Amino acid sequence: MATIRKRGLRYQAIIRRNEHAPIARTFANRADAQQWARGIEREMDLGTFRSNQGMSADILLRELLARYVSEITPRKKGHVQEAYRINRLMLSDLASRNLKDLSPSDLARFRDERLKSGTEAARYDLVLIQGVINTAMREWGLDLQQNPVTRVTKPKPVRARERRLTDSELTSIVERAHGRCGGVLLPTILLAIQTGMRRSELLSMTWANVALAMGTVTLADTKNGKPRTVPLTSEAIQILSDLPRDTSNVLPISANALALGWKRLVRTCGIVDLRFHDLRHEAISRFFEMGLNVPEVALISGHKTPSQLFRYTNLKADLVGEKLRRSTVPAPRAA
pLDDT the model gives residue 274? 94
Q: Which of 97, 114, 280, 281 is catalytic?
A: 280
Burial of 173-190, coded b for 16+ CB within 10 Å and e otherwise, reads beebbeebbeebbbbbbb
Quote the distance between the C-alpha of residue 331 and its chain's center: 47
Q: State the DSSP code for 74.
A: G
Q: Are the beta carbons of 94 and 61 closer than 8 angstroms?
A: yes
Residue 292 and residue 16: Cα distance in Å, rounded? 67
Q: Which of 25, 97, 286, 303 is catalytic?
A: 303
Phi-psi region of 91 (alpha: psi -120 to 50; beta: other; left: phi over 0): alpha
pLDDT the model gives residue 180? 92
| Residue 277 designated active-site | yes
Q: Are the beta carbons of 89 and 60 closer than 8 angstroms?
A: no
Burial of 248-282, coded b for 16+ CB within 10 Å and e otherwise, reads eebbebeeebbeebbeebbeebebeebebebbbbb
| Residue 280 designated active-site | yes
pLDDT the model gives residue 335? 46
Would you report the helix, strand and coil content of the chain in percent, each value rounded to 5?
55, 10, 35
Q: Which of 161, 277, 311, 323 is catalytic?
A: 277
Residue 118: what are its φ and ψ, rounded to 5°?
125, 155
Among 255, 253, 189, 198, CA closest to 230 = 198
**Residue spans of beta strands (DSSP E) within the chain:** 3-7, 10-17, 20-27, 210-211, 216-219, 228-231
| Residue 228 designated active-site | no
Q: Which of 97, 114, 198, 228 is catalytic?
A: 198
SS3 327: coil
Residue 314: what are its φ and ψ, rounded to 5°?
-135, 90
| Residue 198 designated active-site | yes
pLDDT the model gives residue 323? 60
pLDDT the model gives residue 227? 85
| Residue ranges in 224-313 assigned as alpha helix (H) | 234-242, 255-269, 278-289, 294-301, 306-310
SS3 323: helix
| Residue 178 designated active-site | no
Residue 99: what are its φ and ψ, rounded to 5°?
-55, -40
Q: Give the number of other Cβ atoms within 10 Å of residue 75's Cβ.
A: 8
Four-way CATH pick for 167-322: 3.40.640.10, 1.10.443.10, 1.10.3720.10, 3.40.50.300? 1.10.443.10
Q: Which of 17, 223, 311, 323 is catalytic?
A: 223
Q: What is the architecture, at CATH level 2, of domain 61-151? A: Orthogonal Bundle (1.10)
What is the full per-residue pLDDT of the chain (335 aa) written as tens digits? 788 888 778 888 888 876 666 677 778 888 988 898 888 888 888 877 665 556 777 888 999 999 899 989 988 877 888 999 999 999 999 999 998 889 999 999 999 999 998 888 899 999 999 999 998 888 887 877 789 999 999 988 777 778 889 999 999 999 999 889 999 999 999 999 999 999 999 999 999 999 999 999 999 877 766 788 999 999 999 999 999 999 999 999 999 999 999 999 999 999 999 999 999 999 998 998 888 888 888 888 888 788 777 776 666 666 555 665 565 555 555 54
Helix (H) or strand (E) holding 107: helix 104-114
| Residue 223 designated active-site | yes
